[in-house]
């Protein structure tokens, strides 16, 4: 029998990782349907009418945003792990942090990773093609030069914007360093929540954690400039925290 849920993804996407991680953590059965960037558009349009992944299709609902997916899991699987704290004040804090990471961290870590990977065809293809169907793999390879420039244009990826994104990521990491200041185990309260999961998932493109749910390039193979940035972020308290969250909870 087919699992009840479909998860439409661009497999290496960190917003998809956020949804996939929550589904895995709860043990919810689902079937992942991976597509490469841009070729995802048709499947997503058919399923949700929108543009972005992840999209979770359940028997009676279509959820086209990673936060909506976590909220859905929180209210549907009430016997298991609850992504959001039960205390109302802590819940507000967790939701505010999730929103901050979704809007101020995710777009910038993605730009930094793509800036580097788009310059290295093999690393790029090894990152975006696992988990994708054979036909789309062929089409993607054939259209790769055009897709690469469309992606650069759509995400405004250039050296100057990438430098600005590095500064934005440093700022969010410094905020998380401060939040963790008193030696906290988790960002909100005493339990693993959507705040921790979202920070770790959306920071992943500048940390390359081993436990990530889709293959990422190994540290030995990434270009020197990217490696230096990963080492910088990995050695901050926020970076070490995200790597620990992956190690202990992914």
Binding test (CB under 6 A) with ligand GSH, winner from 71, 102, 120, 211: 102
| 63: β partners | 56
DSSP assignment, residue 118? T
3-state secondary structure of 153: helix
Residue 108 as a binder of ligand GSH (CB under 6 A): the answer is no
| Neighbour-count burial of 153, counting CB atoms closer than 10 A to its CB (0-12 exposed, 13-18 middle, 19+ buried) | exposed
* Residues 70, 182: Cα–Cα separation, whole Å: 28
**Closer residue to ligand GSH (CB): 33 or 237:** 33
Residues in contact with 174: Cβ distance below 8 Å, sequence separation at least 6, in sequence order = 236, 238
Helix axes 106-117, 88-104, angle to 10 degrees: 30
**Closer residue to ligand GSH (CB): 71 or 185:** 71
**Closer residue to ligand GSH (CB): 85 or 106:** 106
Query: Least distance (Å) from ligand GSH to the CB of residue 235?
Result: 25
**Closer residue to ligand GSH (CB): 89 or 103:** 103
* Residues 137, 35: Cα–Cα separation, whole Å: 9
Binding mask 33-72 for ligand GSH (x = CB under 6 A): ------------------xxxx----------xxx-----
Residues that bind ligand GSH (CB under 6 A): 10, 13, 15, 51-54, 65-67, 102, 110
């Amino acid at each position: 029998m087919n699992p009840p849920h479909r998860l439409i993804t661009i497999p290496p996407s960190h917003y998809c990782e956020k949804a996939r991680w929550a589904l895995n953590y709860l043990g919810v059965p689902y079937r992942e349907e991976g597509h490469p960037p841009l070729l995802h558009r048709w499947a997503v349009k058919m399923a949700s009418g929108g543009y972005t992944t992840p999209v979770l299709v359940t028997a009676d609902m279509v959820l086209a945003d990673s936060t909506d997916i976590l909220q859905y899991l929180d209210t549907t699987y009430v016997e298991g792990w609850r992504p959001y704290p039960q205390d109302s004040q802590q819940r507000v804090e967790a939701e505010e942090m999730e929103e901050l990471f979704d809007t101020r961290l995710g777009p910038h870590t993605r730009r930094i990773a793509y800036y580097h990977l788009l310059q290295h065809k093999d690393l790029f293809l090894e990152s975006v093609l696992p988990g994708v169907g054979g036909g789309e793999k062929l089409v993607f390879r054939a259209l790769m030069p055009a897709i690469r420039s469309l992606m650069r244009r759509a995400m405004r990826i250039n050296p100057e914007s990438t430098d600005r994104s590095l500064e934005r990521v440093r700022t969010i990491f410094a905020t998380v360093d401060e939040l963790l200041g008193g030696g906290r185990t988790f960002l909100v309260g005493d339990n693993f929540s959507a705040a921790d999961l979202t920070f770790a998932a959306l920071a992943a493109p500048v940390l390359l954690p081993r436990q990530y749910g889709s293959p990422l390039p190994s540290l030995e193979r990434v270009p020197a400039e990217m490696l230096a940035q990963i080492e910088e972020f990995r050695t901050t308290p926020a970076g070490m925290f995200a790597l620990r969250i992956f190690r202990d909870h992914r």
